[in-house]
Amino acid sequence: MNLLVTGAAGFIGSHLCERLLAEGHTVIGLDALLAAALRPQKRRNLSVLLAHPRFRFVEAAVQTADWRTLLDGVDAVFHLAGMPGVRTSWGANFTAYVEHNILATQRLLEACSRRRLHRFVYASTSSVYGHQTGPVAETCPPAPLSPYGVTKLAGEHLCRAYAERDGLPVVILRYFTVYGPRQRPDMAFHRFIRALLTGKPIPLYGDGHQTRDFTYIADCVEGTLATLTAPRAVGETINIGGSARASLRDVIAHLEALTGRRATIAPHDAPPGEPRHTWADISKAQRLLGYRPQVDLRTGLARQIDDLKRLYAREAG
């Protein structure tokens, strides 16, 4: 198939592109490389892809890309581009979230509505659920706690509107706290590992007993890839979660054991907009996608530590 991935230089997007190429597909990867501070990491994410003969990179924003040309011959679209981050979505920053998470999604959907696509896969987030208890199924009414979550939920509604009007074969995936190699520097595990490796205090927001359903990047990508060949997935919203839940203090204990270093904690107040717990009911993903997360938390953390050691060694050299 000829596939297009938005957000291709990002954490999840770059892994997805590599996996699609490994399956024999041809991939167009689009990314605006917006944040100047993240450009070196995004260039690193793209390094393997740019050398591949079946990959073409387009540096452009979703809002202004020439979709009439880019979508020519494309069979499926994976829309992963967007403005991430719960804590930075408040205040004046919200304008950027509206631009990149709502308006950009509408622009892409409008362009795709005139095409005969095999799939349109929209990457959403567990942040749309808000405070919940126990394993959360897709039937749970969304109640986002942050402006970020609101914009991602708006994107879901737009997908459903275009699916209803145009028959667009939409699949909505709600990712639960994805981690692993290439994770953004602002995300918790990256910050924790960097602090341990450099002998600095770990910044811990809240008491550390909040729990998350952590999803290793390779498992997330396998669930996403499965949407291409799962006929019953069209029109559905599906949770993509991990193999086990843990608290942030559990994670820090794992990292101490894996690095052989003792953590110093720098406590911070719990930020607004983040739920106390997340827990994905993945029975629907198992049923429709054959989804079975394979990587346990300790193994995934060890792989992320190794990746960051290599990154920092290159930067130091």
Q: Which residues are catalytic?
A: 148
Q: CA 208, CA 31: separation in Å to the nearest integer?
A: 34
Q: Which of 112, 109, 20, 17 is nearest to 74 (CA)?
A: 112
Q: CA 172, CA 163: separation in Å to the nearest integer?
A: 11
Here the tokens at position 185 are 């520097």
Main-chain dihedrals φ then ψ at residue 79, nearest 5 degrees: -100, 95
Cα-based torsion angle of the residue sequence 20, 26, 28, 29 in order, rounded to the nearest 10 degrees: 30
Here the tokens at position 49 are 């892809």
